[in-house]
Structure 1
Amino acid sequence: MPGRAELPEAAPRTASQLRRELSARNLALASQHAHETTYSSVASVLYREDETGNHGNFFPASYKRIRANATWSQRLAKTYTASSRIVRGNERERAELDCSNSSDALLMNIFCHPKTLQCKALQALLHAEPEAKPEFGVRVRTPIANELEDRTEVDMRLGDLLVEAKLSESNFQTARADLMARYEDFELFFDTERLPRARGQFRGYQLLRGVLAAAHHDARFAVICDGRRPDLREEWFAVVACINASALRSRMIFLTWQEIAKTLPRPLKAFLGVKYGIHS
């Protein structure tokens, strides 16, 4: 039996196993880039832009395009919330997308590359129009009772496709029943008796919000996960099975980073393999 550090590339991982692998891969790469690390049992690498304008957490061609796009660049300022785990962490601000575990950085590495969305195979996989332009960190308004503010955000919007991206996160979060009851169409679109729960709370909160946003905006909703995380795949299908309307259910998409990697330019594909262990 292989040990934890010797799992075959395609073997299933838990969230903690995948975090350990990402840590090992990025600690090996870090010496080539400006960086710092968290002090924890499983260290995360936080890269930063160096004097040449490159950034160790990003593929060079992708990062160049991000920096040239004022709207995309705003995503780079998203605050890293674990600075207390870094030596002298209060000396300057860090960004979430600097972190080697960031699913947002992975998403932008792929979809900000100049050739990614020109690929017909990826267009077909996503059912995306050739002229579609990705938007990141998009606030989607979903009706809530009593005119309360809905703060639902999707990681990316590509045409009519709303995307939630996951990498090493443990789950899709949970929500109290009273919180979900605020959404006006929650019981209309879901069989709430069958929805998975944990300790009385609904599981898959981010999925539930994404489905409701897709319903309200007549959009499609996709989740992109690592193919080595069967737990996230199972949670996704458990939620989708409880959607009442077949027309809405047909607009739900589950994809893996590995499936997407098959369609990408070879240099970017190699980068994903080394940095994330994502192989097509």
Structure 2
Amino acid sequence: MPVLEHLDFDIPEGIELRTELSLRALQFAKVKGLRYDRTDGAAPGVLFGHSDECQHGNFYPPSYREIANHPQWERRLGKVHTAFKRARVRANWDWKELDCAHSSDALLMNIFCHPGVLISERAQAMLGVDSHAVPEFGFKPRTPIHNDKRDNTEIDMKIDCLLVEAKLTESDFQSARCGLISRYRDLEAVFDLIELPSRNGKVCSYQLIRGALAAHATGDSFCVLCDARRPDLIEAWYRIIRAVRSHELRYRLKLLTWQELAGVLPNDLRLFLAAKYGIHQSGC
């Protein structure tokens, strides 16, 4: 398995995370000779493509080889990027969402598709998962809604009895109108509705509410995996946890940062995350 050398990129201090990731991606692409393109806009993004050697610049090679050999994982790569029709430069390149350097799903798969991660006892203990667990990306928990129906929305990943919502540069956890929230059968049983945050007539952190309801319905744990450089997202998650009525369910609602997770990852993968994402294990 290749080991990525230490790469020391010139990144200004104090810049916004999305800008930092774009700068890192550009420098990473140029140093490695990777195929890439850029979107237009006030905060341009960087997108990576496939090479002639069947590699992909947005993925660490050992992880990408595992993805290519797993049909369900490989299908996850096919979602079209929302900007490609209006902004792409190369007519023969259909951008995909996981091509983007800012993609939290790509970061999630870089880590959890790596062959050395889930065989690690330290990683298993941190996540609370079984040694034979296989990640499922884009999992649908089928949370109950009224009239004996089930929700069809996705959670980013399920491993064993752990549901995971991953975030990186997303602005928030989405807002939703009250009618969309109230369709969940167990909403009032799980939450003190007065405590749920709202803004401009909409309920905030809809994805987190969905995740907690899924954990309630399935008996699984629900973990928010985000960057330590995003205290706003961390506080948003704690606000939702405070609105949960059951102490037992609160115990199954977790927070983990990419930086904490990096501390139990294989060294070669840590070097990749440090260079491409600026993610260093906690304390480093």
CA offset at residue 40 of structure 1? 2.0
CA distance in structure 1 between the partners assigned to 2:42 and 2:143 by the alignment: 39
Match of residue 6 from structure 1:
13
Paired with 1:19 and 1:110, the residues of 2 have a C-alpha distance of 20
User: Counterpart of 1:218?
Assistant: 219
For 1:207, the equivalent position in structure 2 comes to 208
Aligned residue-pair number: 269
The equivalent residue for 1:195 is 196
Task: Quote the offset at 1:87 in angstroms.
Answer: 3.4
Q: Contact 1:83/1:89 (CA < 8 Å) preserved in 2?
A: no
2:123 and 2:264 in contact (8 A); partners too:
yes
- C-alpha distance after superposition, 1:43-100 (max 9, x if no partner): 2111111101111100000000000111110101012111145334665422111110
Q: Which residue identity is paired with 2:13?
A: E
The 5 Å alignment of 1:37-186 reads: 37-88=38-89, 91-148=92-149, 150-186=151-187
CA distance in 1 between partners of 2:90 and 2:150 (Å): 33
TM-score by length of 1: 0.92
Which letter does structure 2 place at the counterpart of 1:5?
Answer: P
Counterpart Cα distance in 2 of 1:179 and 1:146: 14
Which letter does structure 2 place at the counterpart of 1:154? I
- 1: CA distance, partners of 2:215 / 2:204: 18
Q: Which amino acid aligns with 2:69?
A: A
Partner of 1:28: 27
Q: Deviation string for 1:107-159 (max 9, x for gaps)?
A: 00000000001111111111111111101011120111134552220110000
- Check whether the contact 2:56–2:64 (CA below 8 A) recurs between aligned residues: yes
Identity of aligned residues (%): 46
- The CA distance in 1 between the partners of 2:153 and 2:193, in whole Å, is 20
Aligned-pair distance for 1:214?
0.9
2:37/2:89 contact within 8 Å kept: no
CA deviations on 1:211-237 (whole Å, 9 max, x unpaired) are 101111111100000011100000000
Tell me the distance in 2 between the aligned counterparts of 1:192 and 1:264.
Answer: 39
- The runs of at least 4 aligned residues of structure 1 exceeding 3 Å deviation read 87-92
1:254 — aligned with what? 255
Q: Report the secondary structure of 2:170's partner residue.
A: coil
Return the alpha-carbon distance in structure 2 between the equivalents of residues 91 and 275 of structure 1: 26
**Counterpart-to-counterpart distance in 1, 2:97 and 2:187:** 31
Unaligned 5+ segments in structure 2 are: 1-10
RMSD of the alignment, in Å? 1.5
* Residue in 1 that maps onto 2:17: 18
Structure 2 CA distance for aligned equivalents of residues 183 and 262 of structure 1: 37
